[in-house]
Chain A
Amino acid sequence: MNIKLLKQRIYFQIFRITTASVILFLFLMIWTFISNGIGVIDWTFLTDIPRRGMTEGGIFPAIVGTIYLTLGAVAFALPVGVASAIYLVEYAHEGRLLRMINSAIINLAGVPSIVHGLFGFGLFVIFLNLGTSILSGSLTLFLMILPIVISASREALLSVPKSFREGSLALGASKWQTIRHNVLPYALPGILTGTILAVARAAGETAPIILTAAFFFRPTLPKSMLDGTMALASHIYYMATQHPNIALVRPLTYGSVLVLLGIVLSLNLVAIVIRTRHRRRKNW
């Protein structure tokens, strides 16, 4: 009897240590970013344009570019994604078409980001002649995050009990009235969580925007959707691998990493908090 428990204790300790090590790795990684990059971050860094071949100055155009690209992607993905989810959950009948749509969504989610990037390059940049632009980048990112929004919205809608719909219909409400007043409001937190996670994903993607929207060095802000732009993710890549003097700008690279990481992890945390709070407050 004792040997069993001893074995168990040893195994469980090993598991605990393994888990702790992985988490430690994460924190260590973040710590190297903070210790190497925090010194660089100040108001100028965040609001100034890059100067002197990007050995000085700030990353403001990159921050703005990331915001434009991400907002553009979400502006398409949110309405299309939520509308698709509503159709799939509330209207669609079982059958071949439904199965096809569902597997299309799963497939789309599994496409590597670089393949999205190449597709975006071929279709938007070259074929539709949109050039290297925010529009090309946003459309490409939109295709990438669409399945995320759809899946999260579907789950949120499915978690609303059937009895809400039945009760509303029995009172003589139409299907759309039922969805709008008695289903969607309760699915909103889940939809919001999914959207925020999609935004975080779009903000962090590099390969697709390198091929469709990003420039290495653009000291001016983009003037329209057809303009190309700097972006945080691509900026980090360039500064770390393509800059003529990588070692010199290393601290600036760390600074950019911190900014991007800060934005993305904050978004993820907000989404997690919304989800947790909603789960606790749910009184049905």
Chain B
Amino acid sequence: MEENWAKKIRGLNLKEFLIEKLLFASATISIIVVILIFFFLFSQGALAFREISIPDFLFGQSWQPTSVIKPEFGAVPLVYGTMVVTFIAMAISVPIGIIIAVYIAEVANPIEKEILKPIVELLAGVPSVVYGFFALVTLAAWIQQLTGTNSRLNALNGGIVLAIMVIPTIVSLAEDAITSVPREYREGSMALGASKWETIRNVVLPSAAPGILAATLLGFGRAVGETMAVLMATGNATIVNFNILDSVRTMTATIVIETPEVAFGSLHYHALFAVAVFLFAITFAFNYLAGVVMRRFRRTGR
């Protein structure tokens, strides 16, 4: 094994060096991509503000980019649409998600756990367009039967289907948070005579609260960014009506619907990028907050 060892070592070292550099290049692609996306979106979106004033964009109540008479680029109807649908979705999915997480983590027996966890994962695996189709055809009909509304496709429809889509996100993160509460806390509570439920309510859940909060924030981010399901479920009318049984239009749907029709370089084109930047900013903020909460959690709450 000793002959040619020096020569071999030199060759080996060169190979090692090259491999390390190659791997490094791959890792930096992620940074490059994020910067690229950021830069590209911002630059294209900023061009819109040569002609539209920022207050008009942020507070304008009318989104009529294709109007021949007077095109308007007010984002309020779009933001309203996104927010209504998101809030309905979160109102449904957060309590249900936490309940399911508690059930899986604390109540279900091992066999149930083995079955439930994959099913929740499968729930997350269903493509968004499939959920959208279901909402469009079946869910809308149920809602119409129940409420007698005129607009079949409305915010409630979008909110419900979005809730189903967000539930797996909340369940998996909340369940992680709950199971990472140390056994000693539980045992201490039970040793004092508390029932299992009392332990969960008074010890486990408060202890897992930061993780559950982070789950909610991430769920928010996911809901805001969802496209196809809400596109197919909400009717896409750019009106602000404060009636959840009325049609709405989200930011995401706007981009999908209008991009194929824009003239490259037109004001409309840039305005859509501006909407995308706005959307990116909102989801980024939620994801960032979730990260902050998780880091605090890891540092203080064991």
A/B touching: CB–CB < 8 A: yes
Residues of chain A whose beta carbon lies under 8 Å from any beta carbon of chain B = 4-5, 7-8, 11-12, 14-16, 18-19, 22-23, 25-26, 29, 32-33, 79-81, 83-84, 86-88, 91-92, 100-101, 103-108, 110-119, 121-123, 126, 143, 146-147, 150, 174-176, 197, 200, 203-207, 210-211, 233, 236-237, 240-241, 250, 253, 257, 260-261, 264-265, 267-269, 272
Chain A interface: which of B34-42, B48-56, B202-210? B34-42
Which residue of chain B has the shortest Cβ distance to A29 in the bound complex?
Answer: B134
A106 and B291 form a contact (CB under 8 A) = yes
Min CB gap B158→A, angstroms: 14
B284 and A206 form a contact (CB under 8 A) = no
Min CB gap A54→B, angstroms: 16
B30 and A147 form a contact (CB under 8 A) = yes
Chain B residues closer than 8 Å to A92, beta-carbon distance: 27
Q: Does B104 contact A (CB under 8 A)?
A: yes
Which residue of chain A has the shortest Cβ distance to B254 in the bound complex?
Answer: A114
A108 and B27 form a contact (CB under 8 A) = no
Q: Does B116 contact A (CB under 8 A)?
A: yes
Chain A residues closer than 8 Å to B256, beta-carbon distance: 114, 117, 207, 210-211
B283 and A87 form a contact (CB under 8 A) = no
> Chain B binding site: helix, strand, loop or mixed by DSSP?
helix
> Which of B33, B232, B291 sits near A108, CB closer than 8 Å?
B33
A4 and B24 form a contact (CB under 8 A) = no
A118 and B197 form a contact (CB under 8 A) = no
Complex Cα spacing A8 to B16, Å: 61
Chain B residues closer than 8 Å to A33, beta-carbon distance: 130, 134
A211 and B103 form a contact (CB under 8 A) = no
Complex Cα spacing A100 to B31, Å: 7
> Given A7-B197, A108-B33, A110-B287, A16 and B103 touching (CB < 8 A)?
yes
> Which of A18, A91, A241, A261 sits near B96, CB closer than 8 Å?
A18
A174 and B252 form a contact (CB under 8 A) = no
Complex Cα spacing A116 to B227, Å: 12
A-B contact pairs, 19 of them (CB 8 A): A7-B197, A22-B167, A33-B130, A83-B26, A87-B26, A91-B20, A91-B24, A110-B225, A111-B225, A112-B224, A112-B252, A115-B37, A118-B276, A143-B37, A146-B30, A176-B16, A206-B228, A260-B129, A268-B121
Complex Cα spacing A22 to B279, Å: 29
Which residue of chain A has the shortest Cβ distance to B124 in the bound complex?
Answer: A268
Complex Cα spacing A153 to B6, Å: 35
Q: Does B226 contact A (CB under 8 A)?
A: yes
B41 and A119 form a contact (CB under 8 A) = yes
Residues of chain B whose beta carbon lies under 8 Å from any beta carbon of chain A = 12, 15-16, 19-20, 22-24, 26-31, 33-37, 40-41, 44, 96, 99-100, 102-104, 107, 116, 118-119, 121-123, 125-130, 132-134, 136-138, 164, 167, 195-198, 221, 224-228, 232, 252, 255-256, 259-260, 264, 272-273, 276, 279-280, 283-284, 286-287, 291
Complex Cα spacing A261 to B196, Å: 39
Complex Cα spacing A237 to B257, Å: 12
Chain A residues closer than 8 Å to B99, beta-carbon distance: 14-15, 18-19
B123 and A16 form a contact (CB under 8 A) = no
A84 and B228 form a contact (CB under 8 A) = no
A32 and B103 form a contact (CB under 8 A) = no
Chain B residues closer than 8 Å to A105, beta-carbon distance: 30
Complex Cα spacing A257 to B132, Å: 11
A23 and B119 form a contact (CB under 8 A) = yes
> Which of B96, B107, B198 sits near A4, CB closer than 8 Å?
B198
Complex Cα spacing A196 to B273, Å: 32
Q: Which among B20, B37, B102, B132 has the greatest number of chain A C-beta atoms within 10 A?
A: B37
Complex Cα spacing A257 to B134, Å: 10
Min CB gap B109→A, angstroms: 11
A261 and B127 form a contact (CB under 8 A) = yes
